[in-house]
Structure 1
Amino acid sequence: MASEWDTHTSLTATGDGLFGAELDPGWVVGGGVNGGYLLGLIGKAIAETVPAKPHPLAVSAYYLSASTPGPAQVSTRVLREGGSVATVAAELGQEGATRITALATYGDLRAMPTDVGTTATEPTIPPIEECVPGTMAPEEVRRIAPLMERFDLRFDPACVGWAMGAPSGNGHIQAWFRMADGHEVDPVGLLMVCDALPPVTFDLGRPGWAPTLELTVHVRAVPAAGWLKVSHRTRNVAGGMFEEDCEVWDSAGRLVAQSRQLAMQPRG
Structure 2
Amino acid sequence: MTSGLTATRPDSEFDRDIAVARSGDGFAGTFSDGWRVGGGINGGFQLSLLGNAIRAALPAHPDPIAVSAYYITPAVAGPVTVAVRPQRVGGRTATVAADLVQGEDTRLTVLATYGDLDAFPTDDVRTTAEPIDLPPRDQCVPNTMAPDEVKQMAPFTQRFEMLFHPDEVGWAVGKPSGIGQISAWFRLADGREPDPLALLMAVDALPPVTFDLGLPGWAPTVELSAHVRAKPAPGWLRLRHRTRNVAGGMFEEDCEVWDSTDRLVAQSRQLALLPR
TM-score of the superposition, structure 2-length normalised? 0.94
1:173 & 1:56 partners in 2: Cα distance? Answer: 25
Give the Cα–Cα distance (whole angstroms) in 2 for the partners of residues 4 and 33 of structure 1.
16
Distance (Å, rounded) in 1 between the aligned partners of 2:111 and 2:222? 15
Given candidates 193, 203, 218, the residue that maps to 2:202 is: 193
Give the Cα separation in 2 of the matches to 1:224 and 1:235.
30
Distance in 1 separating the partners of 2:51 and 2:153 = 25
- CA-to-aligned-CA distance 1:46-77 (integer Å, 9 cap, x gap): 11111111001100000001000001111101
Q: Where has structure 1 moved over 6 Å in runs of 4 or more?
A: none
Match of 1:23 in 2: 31
Pick from 226, 230, 240 the counterpart of residue 217 of structure 1.
226
Inter-partner Cα distance in structure 2 for 1:209 and 1:223: 29
Q: What are the residue-to-residue correspondences of 1:27-176 with 2, within 5 Å? A: 27-115=35-123, 116-176=125-185
Structure 1 unpaired stretches of 5+ = none
Alignment of 1:228-247 (within 5 A): 228-247=237-256
Identity %: 61
How far apart are residue 90 of structure 1 and its match?
A: 0.3
Where 2:234 maps in the other structure, the secondary structure is: coil
SS in 2 for 1:223: coil
Aligned partners of 2:218, 2:35: CA distance in 1, in Å? 13
Residues 200-227 of structure 1: per-residue CA shift (max 9 Å, x gap): 0000011111111111000000000000
User: 2:265 matched to which residue of 1?
Assistant: 256
Partner of 2:188: 179
CA drift at 1:144 = 2.3
TM-fit CA distance, 1:239: 1.3
- Preserved contact between residue 194 and residue 247 of structure 1 (Cα < 8 Å): yes
Shift of 1:140: 4.2
